[in-house]
Chain A
Amino acid sequence: MSRFFYSLVIIIVGLLFIGKLVSLQLFYEESNIVESDPAITKNYLYPERGFIYDRSGNLLVGNQPSYDVMVTPREVTSLDTLEFLKLLDLEQEEFIDKMARARRYSTRLPSVLVANLSKESYAALQEKLRRFQGFFIRKKSLRDYYTTSAAHVLGYISEVNTDDVRRNDYYIPGENIGRTGLERQYEEVLRGKKGVSYVQKDRFNRVIGPYKEGSLDSLPQMGKNIHITIDKTLQEYGERLMNGKRGGIVAIEPKTGEILSMISGPTYDPSLLVGRQRSANYTAMYYDSLSRPTWDRSILAQPSPGSPFKALNALVALQEGAINPKTTYTCDEGFYVAGVKRGCHCGGGVRDLNSGLLHSCNAYFAESFRSFYRKFETTTEAHDTWEAHMKSFGLGDFLGTDLPTGAPGRIPSTEFYDRAYGRNRWVSTFVISNAIGQGEVAATPLQLANMTAAIANRGYFITPHLLKEVEGENSIDYKFREKRYTTIDEKHFDPVIKGMEAVYTSGTARFLQVPGIRLAGKTGTVENYTRIDGEKVQLTDHSVFVAFAPVEDPKIAIAVYIEHGYYGNRYAGHIASLMIEKYLKGEITRVDLEKRMLEKTLAKEYAKPTSGKPFEINEYAW
């Protein structure tokens, strides 16, 4: 080979290198560099999360500063471990474990060593921190609760997980997201929008200033404060009444659909899910599978509604002309279904609509239900009509309230029974339990309260909701202002409401009277069953009560559901009447009753099914 060949090869290689230098240094897209350039750090500026106020402007949720101790493993050179651990109140094994985890994540990027340091530890650490190389403090904002109640409604925030990050590219690991309740529902309103700043670092990794004079930066947008429809006083009072009981309370302002309180028992202090003990607290509650404090009974429990449904069935029968308020049926301390007698507790006698309601006569409603079905050619036709009426009260489907979870309840359709019994193989006698709110129907406390509101409004309701106002915005979503009419004519509500008022003045709820308040209500005592060792076992009835007051101008509609509380008025009724009194009058006159409700728990009742011993249900004494 000649020398020219060698020279040529050398020149070609040199030209290739210069060509590559040209393409790299003169034509490389700079915009690609910002995100991946290690000398440019992208910092996020986090806006403060919006506050949450109750309906009268009381602060429910604010923010508190919190401090994370961060570590960049490769910068940790020498460390007085003993002193450091003492300052942080950390065990050595835990420290070693966490450092190993941080190193595994990245030696160059900071990881959280200790999250949510208390203010005291922070103060102590702050002074000495510069002696511990590689560690720094990241300040962030945590929720600060100004109430111990409404945990389920408010929900909580927690760190995003990998799924959140994948689903929504707004988030990066380490950020918080509203996980449940309103925090989740109004996440985008509350969180605001984080800002970005790019900083240029010098060769010692020190920040030397904004990158490109901040031309790529953006400012954070503050989260918006929201006002919710919850009445703080009523909510807190309701939760105190719920002491030791399981169940749900929902109170709605009928005219607006605003939820005044939404209580699930047992509940927890929302501040338990903030700070360093969050994980331990949550785990403890999560594994309490008997009382299930994290399960929101007010919107997720779907028991049979029981006798409050009688009012609704009466409305349907009136609307379809199956009965009129004067129609009477005779109660023989029970009624016959296909030749089998089913019992009634009302005492027997001739019942019309009013007395049927006030004594909660099973026979009267079974008979009127039957007459309703007889109006139609086929059972299917009758049942479809019934289903449509029922669903117009917001039952049997998700209500569309502004909470991320919910339950549809159940209004069984013809298809439902077709599936269960076979097509054309069931008749009205199969479904007659629905007449008295037992059988296949199911409703959440929220649905019961909403149904009551619809009765109080004489034929319409507004989708129950929790958002009252977003600060700086004109009005809330139209769907929370729109009237949803039921299929029942307004005129049919009067006799039913009269009957419900009679329930209160002289019927099953006559012991609940609140001086000076006209109240219309309906008790419910719901049979229920569970399985113990594979056997169906009946448990003590659920206590249910729905009511609205004052009758002449309804301000509150309430549904109370107490698991295994027995008679409708025993727990649910009393609690409902106390809540109404508290809301309408602001103070309680019946101090003895209040004391009893606050102190009395159902722990004994709840222990029965898991005790492993035979037990009695529906005990008279309480």
Chain B
Amino acid sequence: MKLTNMRGNLLIFRLDWISIFLLLFLIGFGWVNIYSTTVGNDLSGPLLDLGTFYGKQLFFAILSLIAVILYSFIPDQFIERFSSVFYLIGIALLLGLFVFGKTIAGATSWYDLGPFNFQPSELMKMIVALALAKYLSDTQVNLRYSVHQGYAVLLLVLPSILVIAQPDPGSALVFFSLFLVLFREGLPLYYLTFVLSFILAFASTLKFGLTYTFIGALALYLSYLWLKPKRLKTPTWFNVSYPVILFTIIASTTWVYNSVFKQHHRDRFSLWLNLETNEDRLLDIKQSIGYNTYQAKQAIASGRWSGKGFLEGTRTKGDFVPAQHSDYIFSSVGEEWGFVTSALVVLAFVALLLRFIYLADRQKKAFHRIYGYGITSVLFIHFGINIGMVLGMLPTIGIPLPFFSYGGSSLLFFCLMCYIFLKMDANRLKTHFD
């Protein structure tokens, strides 16, 4: 091992520069797109103008850098030791929103800090990842035990509930993404099958109707019982309760869809699954609920191979895509930079995620590994849902694209979240000597 090489070196040489370059590319290019979507008519203004979106974002990028530098001086043990305290503070911050929160676009998700708004759920993503890592890295904890499963799930569900109540269901989804960590850490996989098959059954009932889904699900379940390998052991309660719940879901889908869902939920689903047969109504949905998706798709499509060029995107700059500087920013990439660069951005995200998995797996400490998987899951769900939505492959769910979408707290905490992990990685061998 090259331990000796590492020992005397500064932190900066031990950091994983592949990840850092990827991050810098994403942040820098993201800011370029925010500038392009929000700069408007007058290009002569200063870049760091806090009255503008791009100016604020640049300010937060600088703030992120400062935070990262400051964090470099804090020992890794600090963050591990106090992660439970952070969790409590985070929960308190979320609860505080119900009293002091500021409402923007119907969601009470912000604290008003004068010139800036602070969104605690962004911070909470990092905190939950830390808390989960802390809990799971405890040698006493084994996810084979249902009590421990219960505690772990509670860690995720509690902030989810608080966030859903804001209401901000998109962010709640992010906490659920941390389930992926649980599976990595030994939560039996059939839970995942469980949940996924329910979602699939629901969508399939809507799309193909009750009868076909019922027959299909029954056939699959029976063939599973028939063909499953002897060594695959699932608890009896699971084998019994699974089909009961599954068929209840299939049978109740229509009722839930028509009576529990609101019209705007139904419209999103019908657009996504192509359910609407009435032409007029379909057009209606496309022009209202589907307007964003439609415009985003058109903008991306018009980019062709190489895009229209920086600041030259006609559709996106004409304000045709609502929320373009935030959730729909990827449409600007698609229009102004074209296919090659868009694909490059997707690849950059994929590379970053793969790199993080690689880094996580080389950690010596469970806490570090689990935290690495945690933030990878968080980034992955953002990336997957946001771009899937912008490309029209998923229903509309409001969730930002990390490093790209406008949002100060979001940028700051994503940076900090990643840097905490990178610093853990940089110091992964250090603990042996301390």
Contact = CB atoms under 8 A, between A and B. Distances in A.
Interface of A: 1, 3, 6-7, 9-11, 13-14, 16-18, 20-22, 24-26, 28, 33, 36-39, 200-205
A24 to B, nearest CB: 5
Contacts of A22: 339
A28 B305 CA distance: 12
Contact of B300 (A3, A7, A24, A200): A24
A391 B357 CA distance: 96
Chief secondary structure at chain A's binding surface: helix
B210 interface: no
Contacts of A205: 318-319
B354 interface: yes
**For chain B, what secondary structure do more than half of its interface residues adopt (helix, strand, loop), or is it mixed?**
helix
B391 interface: yes
Nearest to B347: A14
B318 A201 contact: yes
16 contacts: A6-B373, A7-B357, A14-B346, A18-B346, A21-B300, A21-B346, A24-B300, A25-B300, A33-B298, A37-B298, A37-B315, A39-B302, A39-B314, A203-B313, A203-B314, A204-B317
Nearest to B360: A3
B69 to A, nearest CB: 30
A38 B301 contact: no
A6 B300 CA distance: 28
B342 interface: yes
A25 B357 contact: no
A37 B302 contact: yes
Interface stretch (B212-220, B238-246, B380-388, B402-410): B380-388
A201 B298 contact: no
B350 A11 contact: yes
Contact of A203 (B302, B305, B316, B373): B316
B304 interface: yes
Nearest first, the 6 closest Cβ-Cβ pairs linking A and B are A203-B317, A14-B350, A39-B314, A28-B301, A25-B339, A39-B315
A26 B339 contact: yes
A344 B387 CA distance: 97
Given A38-B315, A202-B318, A203-B311, A21 B342 contact: yes
A78 B390 CA distance: 34
A201 B314 contact: yes
Interface string B276-312: 0000000000000000000101101111110000011
A204 B184 CA distance: 50
Contacts of B339: 21-22, 25-26
B320 interface: yes
Contacts of A201: 314, 318
Given A1-B189, A10-B354, A18-B346, A25 B314 contact: no
Nearest to B391: A20
A244 to B, nearest CB: 53
Contacts of A39: 302, 314-315, 318, 320
B194 interface: no
Nearest to A17: B346
B334 interface: yes
B24 interface: no
A30 to B, nearest CB: 8
A42 to B, nearest CB: 15
Of the candidates A7, A10, A20, the one having the most CB atoms from chain B within 10 angstroms of its own CB is: A10
A3 B350 contact: no
Interface residues of B, number: 50
Nearest to B307: A25
A34 to B, nearest CB: 11
A434 B47 CA distance: 96
Contact of A6 (B184, B383, B384, B393): B184
Interface in B391-407: 391-393
B61 interface: no
A480 to B, nearest CB: 44
Given A203-B314, A203-B318, 12 more contacts: A3-B184, A3-B360, A10-B353, A10-B354, A11-B350, A13-B383, A13-B384, A18-B346, A25-B300, A25-B342, A202-B317, A203-B312
Contacts of B31: none
B79 interface: no
A1 B303 contact: no
Most chain A beta carbons < 10 A, residue from B180, B303, B312, B318: B318
B318 A38 contact: yes
B258 interface: no
Nearest to B294: A36
Interface string B352-366: 011001101100000
A26 B300 CA distance: 10
A18 B317 CA distance: 24
Contact of B184 (A1, A16, A26): A1
B391 to A, nearest CB: 5
B343 interface: yes
Contacts of B305: 25-26
B349 interface: yes
Nearest to B306: A25
Nearest to B321: A38
B391 A17 contact: yes
B140 interface: no
Q: Which of B305, B353, B360 has the most chain A CB within a 10 Å cutoff? A: B353
A93 B118 CA distance: 43
A11 B353 CA distance: 9
Given A18-B343, A21-B346, A25-B305, A11 B354 contact: yes
B41 interface: yes
A201 B283 CA distance: 24
Contacts of B346: 14, 17-18, 21
B120 interface: no
B338 interface: yes
A204 B318 CA distance: 5
A25 B301 contact: yes
A275 to B, nearest CB: 35
B116 interface: no
A583 B370 CA distance: 106
Contacts of B319: 205
Contacts of A200: 314
A205 B319 CA distance: 9
B349 A14 contact: yes
Nearest to B388: A17
A203 B313 CA distance: 7
A7 B354 contact: yes
B334 A21 contact: yes
A241 to B, nearest CB: 55
B183 interface: yes
Contacts of B383: 13
A566 B85 CA distance: 109
A21 B298 CA distance: 12
A6 B320 CA distance: 37
A24 B297 contact: yes
Interface string B85-125: 00000000000000000000000000000000000000000
A1 B183 contact: yes
B367 to A, nearest CB: 17
A10 B320 CA distance: 31
Nearest to A9: B380
Contacts of B300: 21, 24-25
